[in-house]
Structure 1
Amino acid sequence: MKRRTAREKALQALFQMDIGKAEMGDAMDSVLDGQARDEYFEFLVQGTEGNKEQIDTILSDNLENWKLDRLGNIDRNLLRLSVFEMMNNQDVPVNVVMDEAIEIAKVFGDDQSSKFINAVLSKVKDKLDK
């Protein structure tokens, strides 16, 4: 599975877990639709879910005039996924994670999602660089 596909599938699984309150394993199996699980996909889903409290704190600190629970469901979960990847994957440059998130937002989000994702992740990146 390509990393872009792993990110998209991870977003879908996180969305199901967040909105539908699906169990992690069930959500992962559902989005894979019979495909074998991919190591990177599992890393993203398990890592994002396992570090959600820390990630949500980072996001809340970088949102201006927004509360995390008021964000669109896709945007919130894409931000969580991206922040986890930015913090925990030394193989992928932060700018690549950001670019991927912006492109995924264009597919799954609304008209303003990509700009919003870019703005928030840019702030997170600046803080992580310090």
Structure 2
Amino acid sequence: MAEKRGNRRRMRDIVFKSVFQYDFHKDADAAAGFLRKESGFHSFDEVTWQRANKYLSGILEHLEELDRVISSHLINWTFDRLTAVDKNVLRLGTYELLYELDIPIEVTLNEAIELAKKYGSVEDGKFVNGVLDRIAKQHTPPSKRGL
């Protein structure tokens, strides 16, 4: 089980970086290529690779909706003022909360906080936690609340 968790953590890390790449270059093919290269570097098994690809595709497909949901839960802040790290961690976390029904809410929040702290700061982790917690309470499908 620990190996599976480690793979998922690395998978989220690489998906975050891929979404970050997309946000910077606005090139879905480049983001997908980055994901492929990094997944190969980490020797992901087929299941992990498929999940990573699904995450990236889902985030890019639902990007406008994710950004609207995030924006609606920012307090005394605007989406345009978010750092690139916070914005893309929030996109990943919001996608997982709304669309990955087998991932417990607490896991999503914890993993997003860790990414924000790793690539930003402790304060970024607190900020991401607050925003995702509000999103989870209002938008997460009821079926996820019992996981």
- Write out per-residue CA displacement over residues 49-104 of structure 1, whole angstroms, 9 at most, x where no aligned residue: 11001111101100012111210101100100110111111111111111111112
Tell me what 2:93 maps to: 82
Tell me what 1:109 maps to: 120
Distance of 1:109 and 1:86 partners within structure 2: 21
Q: Tell me which amino acid in the other structure corresponds to 2:35.
A: M
| Percent identity for Structure 1 against Structure 2 | 29
18-27 vs 110-119, which moves further: 18-27
1:20 to 11, 21, 25: 25
Q: Which 4+ runs in 1 deviate beyond 4 A?
A: 33-37
Partner SS for 1:79: helix
Shift of 1:31: 3.5
1:65 aligns with 2:76: yes
**Contact 2:113 2:129 survives alignment (8 Å):** yes
More helix by proportion, 1 or 2? 2
RMSD in angstroms over aligned alpha carbons?
1.9
Shift of 1:30: 4.4
Distance of 1:6 and 1:80 partners within structure 2: 15
Relative to structure 1, is the Cα distance of residues 123 and 25 closer, same or farther in structure 2, using a 3 angstrom cutoff?
Answer: same
How many positions carry a matched residue from both structures?
A: 130
Tell me what 1:29 maps to: 36
Distance of 2:86 and 2:18 partners within structure 1: 14
Q: TM-score, normalised by structure 2?
A: 0.80
Partner SS for 1:63: coil
Q: Which has the larger radius of gyration?
A: 2
Q: TM-score, normalised by structure 1?
A: 0.89
**Contact 2:93 2:108 survives alignment (8 Å):** yes
Partner SS for 1:112: helix
Long gaps (5+) in structure 2? 143-147
2:11 to 6, 17, 20: 6
Q: Tell me which amino acid in the other structure corresponds to 1:107.
A: K
